[in-house]
A and B are shown apart, each in its own frame.
Chain A
Amino acid sequence: MLRSCVCLRSESTKRRSSSVEDASSCRSSEIERVGASMQTTTLGPNGQPQPVAAQTTTRASSLLQLFQRKGWCKHFRKPLRGMSASRAEKTIRAAIFIQKWYRQHQARREMQKRCNWQIFQNLEYASEQDQAELYKFFNDLIKNMPQAAATGNKYHQNSRISILEEDGELVEEAGDIVSTRIELPITKNDIDRLIDVFRKKKGNRLHPKYVAMILREGARCLKQMPNIVMVSTAVSQQVTVCGDLHGKLDDLLVVLYKNGLPSTSNPYVFNGDFVDRGKKGLEVLLLLLSLYLAFPNSVFLNRGNHEDSVMNARYGFSREVESKYPRNYKQLLLLIDEVYRWLPLGSVLNSRVLIVHGGFSDSTSLDLIKSIDRGKYVSILRPPVTDGEPLDKTEWQQIFDIMWSDPQSMQGCKPNTLRGAGVWFGPDVTETFLKRHRLNYVIRSHECKPNGHEFMHDNKVITIFSASNYYAMGSNKGAYMRLNNQLMPHFVQYISAASQTKRLSFRQRMGIVESSALKELAVRMRDHRDELELEFQKCDPDGSGHITISKWCCVMESVTKLGLPWRLLRDKLAPGTDSQSVNYVTTLDLLDTDVIMEAEADGTTVMDALYANKSSLVTIFNIIDADNSGEITLDEFETAIDLLVAHMPGVYSKEEMLEKCRMMDLNGDGKVDLNEFLEAFRLSDLHRKQQQEEDMRRRSTHRTIQNPSDSVTKLANAISKNTAVVEQDIDPTDCEADAVDPK
């Protein structure tokens, strides 16, 4: 008997094809594997080998041996009716032709999907890394100036206590403010009215005094909660858990619409990351706090790593508050900080299931976490507000680990170099942790998943992510989970604003995700534009404008360090280029197109964030100023600069900073006070802005001399068209939701 796949079909229920396993969905564990390997292949010799390994089985190889055949199989299982033998053979050949073409297409499409996903993820984590650098800088600063550890920022402590008590000085805002009035205690009626206001595209701003009221009252009540909140399903018989929302009010409304408002019989746990990235972070935060105030025993809020002013300065929430309440944002941001510092750090369901935002490490101790005075940690990325007490770094580490960690498939526990904070924890760490704390499993969030949820570590770690269309429209589904009294999980996945994707063709949908990925990547590349140009030119001594593909990939990685599969991205990032070499000028031209420059102006860079986050600068000053004299010596300042430069190379120039400092020491006594210190940074900022303007001017004149090629213009137009956002009133019924079959 000829060994052929056709003959064996009767024996095997499912024929395995050689195309990508599970090509039907962007299965995230697949992506994680591919993603990790993409990291591995491009990390330099001194880069740490990165975790997630494929879980290979030998099942496939034995099946494969069955399918291997020598020679062409001419056995027809069912003779094609009414056809001559030659006709039938022609048909079969045509069928094979189509099949092999389709499989190739599928494989490439799958790779494309993974590529886009990889771009989004790496960009997100690389940015987070920058923020984590700030934390490490502070850590180093404290380490190198031990007397500073004892002082902390008393300055902050005092101003914080007052904000909860006083009514604050709020002023009227310009523009349309709704007339809606909210009074305490908040009722279900208020919730309905709030939803009706918040979901509108326009006319959706509450009077700032009500915003302040909700924030203040929210913080005051949250302060009463323990660090780890005990949740029980004794009365409700069930509970719903939601993950990251990231300012996606439409997703929150979809969940409330499909799953009902909270009540004694319908409790909710929201697992952090309510703000940043999405455009309605303030509304999400206010609605969640209002739900909590209206149904205090049915709503549980956990802190996420984005409930942090340092993150907000970088990821858009601070900007959002400023743009919505330009006259009151400072006051409101201070109140938001209060909410953050009093948010509980996690929950435990029925004493069996832990719910935390990130995960845990091999040193995580819930007892220790329960004993922490969490109010000290206004921002997790800045040193805690101590009261003359020495800083407890173990404690700080504990909080970091539960907020920032990610699960990995490999065994062991190692620092999470991708995020720059927290750890990667393996299945063995999970097992030990669960045993030690007598838990069944852990629910966490923190990572975007294509289907809004994922099981890992033998179903002991469940990721739940509730922001659909997170990276781009159509990029992923969101999900929420319902647990019954036995804590068996059921998932509902959904996409909000479904009508926007439904009416699009397949091609258009893929185009949107891809364009979004390219746009974000190009914006990020702009940070390194000059360096890229320099490196490209180095490889092209003749000035031909062309370099080999390998060289192009090399330069891209060495400059951006993003760990992306550059070879696969080549024809997108160097459009119009042929298959032998790369016209790198097109890459640079792409970065200079309007659509990319506008997108850059829209976002915030690390520098912007640092400057915007003046409190960080004040903290730095206070730490250096160990004796609280209000002045620091040039030597002390120099130490701080050294550390800052070490952590953020390319962001600060040491000579520049020192020069500014010396210039600021107006009375020449070798000391700098706080104002002079801030001036030094502000001057640097001015200087930087001047430099940026100079760069832009230089580039725009250069551009008019050499017009961008047609292919660059075409690509830029496509990106512009595909990423145009049409804002509408939110309609929670406009969703596509389906329950996932329980495992």
Chain B
Amino acid sequence: MDLDSVNNDLEKRISDAFCVFDHHGDKFIDVREVGTVLRLLGCVPTEQEVNEVISATEQLGETSGEVHLTKFLPHVSQLLMERKMEPATPEKIIKAFKILDPENKGYLTKEHFGKLMMEEGEPFTQEEMDEMWPVAIDPITGHIPYEFYLNQLMVYL
């Protein structure tokens, strides 16, 4: 594959996002950045999906721990064209929150939500949790009014 003649706009997009993390200019990125690149491209992968991309594209042997553009590009192009890992609509996200709020109170308690996020599914690290709190928690009630929280984040970006 001739990297210099990446004309297709989709491939250019992927290549651009990839190159943001190519620090040495040698078209290699650290595996730890794969998730970020995917997210930059608008994908919403689960951790598992990220790991799958990593195992499909990671270099073996000496350069393990890195991913080269020649492997990344075709694999991710395919994924994007198949519309995998697509972002969800705000309605779907609210629906997910509502499942966690069966009594339909309109909010989640810090305790309940925190426990869930840090123990179930693909758990958050303490860092990620700490990052979430300041914006998610309503300073007056101490709860998470999820719809309001969602609005704050969605509109900003």
Contact = CB atoms under 8 A, between A and B. Distances in A.
B2 interface: no
A140 B36 CA distance: 46
Contact of B153 (A53, A105, A568): A105
Interface stretch (A14-22, A151-159, A586-594): A14-22
Nearest to A102: B132
B116 A104 contact: no
Contact of B24 (A19, A34, A53, A91): A53
Contact of B44 (A54, A93, A100): A100
Nearest to B99: A94
Interface of B: 9, 12-13, 16-17, 19-25, 30-36, 39-40, 43-48, 50-51, 54-55, 58, 64-66, 87-88, 92-93, 95-97, 99-100, 116-117, 119-128, 130-132, 134-135, 152-153, 155-157
A95 B127 contact: no
A500 B69 CA distance: 45
A90 B120 CA distance: 12
Contacts of A511: 156
Contacts of B47: 5, 17-18, 67, 99-100, 103
Contacts of A68: 51, 54-55
Contacts of B132: 102
A64 B47 CA distance: 11
Contact of A37 (B23, B50, B117): B23
A110 B20 CA distance: 13
Interface in A1-39: 5-6, 9, 14-24, 33-34, 36-38
B35 A54 contact: no
A64 B13 contact: no
A102 B132 CA distance: 9
19 contacts: A14-B125, A22-B127, A40-B22, A41-B19, A58-B64, A61-B31, A64-B32, A72-B48, A91-B99, A93-B121, A102-B132, A105-B157, A107-B35, A107-B39, A506-B156, A507-B156, A549-B12, A549-B13, A553-B16
Nearest to B88: A101
B124 to A, nearest CB: 7
A578 to B, nearest CB: 13
Contacts of A109: 157
A134 interface: no
Interface of B is mostly: helix
B157 A52 contact: no
Contacts of A69: 48, 51
Interface in A265-293: none
Contacts of B97: 94, 98
A97 B93 contact: yes
Given A60-B32, A107-B39, A505-B152, 12 more contacts: A6-B123, A36-B23, A37-B19, A41-B25, A56-B65, A56-B66, A58-B64, A68-B55, A101-B87, A106-B128, A506-B156, A507-B156
A36 B25 CA distance: 10
A437 interface: no
Contacts of B134: 506
B6 to A, nearest CB: 9
A163 B97 CA distance: 73
